[in-house]
Structure 1
Amino acid sequence: MRQLRTGIAFCTAALLVMVMAACSNNAGQAKVEASTETDFRLVNSENGEIKIPAHPARVVGLSVVYPEFLQALGITPVAVQNYQEEFPTYLQEPFKDTLKMGIAKTPNFEMILSSNPDIILAPAWWAGKDYDQLSGIAPTVLLPERQDWRDELKDIAEVLDKKEAAEKVIQELEAQEAEAKLKLDALVGNETVMYMMVMPGSFVLYGDQIDRGKFIHTTLGLEMIPNFPAKDPSLSISLEKLPEYNPDHLILQLNNEDSPEVKQTYEDMLNSPLWKNMKAVKNNQVYMMAGKDWFNLGMSPLANRYAIDAVLGAFGGNSK
């Protein structure tokens, strides 16, 4: 009996030692977890303050333009929403391993989850309704709607601690724009320029009251046609109306290069005497631009950079 009690006492003592050791280890673990707080930051969101990783490596930007802002800041997103089947020319190489999620009214939660993001950035006006599901995947920062892309870039840079990078992007682009404006003034002067998009069965002209038209006519200083309605951002016209807007130069795009309807409208236009008799056509001053490459024109520094080079190349003698 004494041996039994001695054995029980010994086991109890051993168990007590193990428990104390475990407590000691837990205390150490708690200290480690507390020290990892330095790996997180608090940032402002439309939903209040959000705790995010201090150095997120895997970022998702839920907007067709947010991925371009991320890339401009030196961060390649792991998954993007894409309106066009193919990425713009200037994103094909950096986005070669980026997951395409398509575009929809609701985020593709399964594909976002599969991309294993550290953080999700989303415009509040579009993704606010899906916040609970998104934040269940990763910390989600909802950002405000902005009228100027520079403010959107700064919002994202603030979240990612990239404010200096954002200012550098803006300053470098402004310098490039100013230089391009001087070159185009020397090349084109006061000759008129019309920016036109071929749609299925119709054509859209862009004025300086819409982002893409403002970039062409204000930022780059190319003269608008005199009879464009001053307050209208764009104007939809038929082929028969085209001769009424008879510019010296014409910047032309297909709304969707893969659309049979758009292609047919374009072919019908090219074969029309109305088209052939236009001043820009006769003088070989029609400049064809890729639609996907200008999709975010006026809304992204990367799209604007690419368009500057394309416009300078076209007006410098590479007309089609």
Structure 2
Amino acid sequence: MRQIRTGMAFSMAIVLVLVMAACSNNNGQAKVAATAEADIRVVNSEKGEIKIPANPTKVVGLSVVYPEFLLALGVTPIAVQNYHEDFPAYLQEPFKDTLKMGIAETPNFEMILASEPDLILAPVWWSGKDYDQLSEIAPTVLLPQRDDWRDELKDIGEVLGKKDIAEKVIQELAAQEAEAKQKLDELVGNETVMYMMVMPNSLILYGDQIDRGKFIHTTLGLEMIPNFPDKDLSLSISLEKLPEYNPDHLIIQLNNEDSAEVKQTYEDMLDSPLWKNMNAVKKNQVYTMAGKDWFNLGMSPLANRYAIDSVLQAFEGNSE
């Protein structure tokens, strides 16, 4: 009888140990499941609701503007599409370790895969056709096409849980723009300003109906030349036509500083008597800006900030 009781007690002890182990294991699984759920967020996209990491650390932003939006929100992308071989001056330091993938109609899927992203962000107009392939690499959020970069920034802020930061970026830029506009009004007043891009064998003049021209003439309030056609976004003119548009100040850029054709067009212009007789040239009020540094002008808060500083530095330096 004693042996039977001892055996029963031993059996009950084993059962108790197994039950406790099972409970412990279930609690552990529950904790793992809860942790996994806490690490996931559900966000809206052009493809419906998408599950993404709650705190992504390796983000790819497709299109040439999304990387700037990410950086403005405090996120350095791990890989970007780049139009120029070198980043604009204001991105060179923060993007020093960022992978350049170039730019093409189709993303470089191999390079995106090699960067091991945990999140891909892309505008639907750019990457809608590539969604299936991108989503096989990492959760991919397609965002709507917007007319205003501020709405794009808010969309990305919403996805990343940084909408408050997006609003702050917009407000701070608006304050910087207002301050710069007042300073430039004091420096320039009603004197006319023309914004010109040197292209291969032609010159492009920008009016206030296109992003970059609107930045110069509306955001910063610099007076346009009076004979620029009201409804035209830009004008393509030859060197011979340049004297017809004769501003007091001239902001000039080379479309591609590495292009031999662009450089030749620029040098031919500088050697021309037509150029030398312009008001802005004779008054030493010509301001040359780097083309690639203004590539996203009017489309990104970081590009706009940099351009504001560049314009102020040029006009303030000229007044000294």
Number of residue-to-residue matches in the alignment: 304
Q: Supply the distance in 1 between the matched residues of 2:296 and 2:37 (Cα, whole angstroms).
A: 38
The aligned amino acid for 2:92 is Q
Where do 1:178-189 residues align within 5 Å? 178-189=178-189
The answer to whether the aligner puts 1:81 opposite 2:85 as a matched pair is no
Q: Supply the distance in 1 between the matched residues of 2:235 and 2:221 (Cα, whole angstroms).
A: 20
| CA deviations over 1:177-206 (Å, ceiling 9, x no partner) | 000000000000000000000000001000
The answer to whether the aligner puts 1:253 opposite 2:253 as a matched pair is yes
CA RMSD, aligned part only? Answer: 2.0
TM-fit CA distance, 1:176:
0.4
Q: Supply the distance in 2 between the matched residues of 1:47 and 1:23 (Cα, whole angstroms).
A: 41
Q: Supply the distance in 1 between the matched residues of 2:87 and 2:310 (Cα, whole angstroms).
A: 17
TM-fit CA distance, 1:22:
10
| CA deviations over 1:129-178 (Å, ceiling 9, x no partner) | 11010000000000001010100000000000001111110111000000
User: When the two structures are superposed, what TM-score results if normalisation uses the length of structure 1?
Assistant: 0.91
The answer to whether the aligner puts 1:58 opposite 2:92 as a matched pair is no
2:9 match: none
2:276 match: 276
2:232 match: 232
Q: Supply the distance in 2 between the matched residues of 1:132 and 1:22 (Cα, whole angstroms).
A: 44
Secondary structure of the 1:129 match is helix
Aligned-pair identity in percent equals 81
Secondary structure of the 2:41 match is strand
Q: Supply the distance in 2 between the matched residues of 1:23 and 1:280 (Cα, whole angstroms).
A: 84
2:113 match: 113
Secondary structure of the 1:317 match is helix
8 A contact 2:45–2:141 mirrored in 1: yes
TM-fit CA distance, 1:314:
0.7
List alignment gaps of at least 5 residues for structure 2.
Answer: 1-17
Q: Supply the distance in 2 between the matched residues of 1:220 and 1:84 (Cα, whole angstroms).
A: 27
The 3 A distance-change label for structure 1 pair 134 and 21 is farther
Q: Supply the distance in 2 between the matched residues of 1:41 and 1:195 (Cα, whole angstroms).
A: 45
User: When the two structures are superposed, what TM-score results if normalisation uses the length of structure 2?
Assistant: 0.91
Q: Supply the distance in 1 between the matched residues of 2:306 and 2:126 (Cα, whole angstroms).
A: 27
1:214 match: 214
Secondary structure of the 2:203 match is strand
Runs of 4+ in 1 over 3 A off after TM superposition: 19-30
1:31 match: 30
| CA deviations over 1:258-288 (Å, ceiling 9, x no partner) | 0000000000000001101111001000000
The aligned amino acid for 1:45 is S
List alignment gaps of at least 5 residues for structure 1.
Answer: 1-18
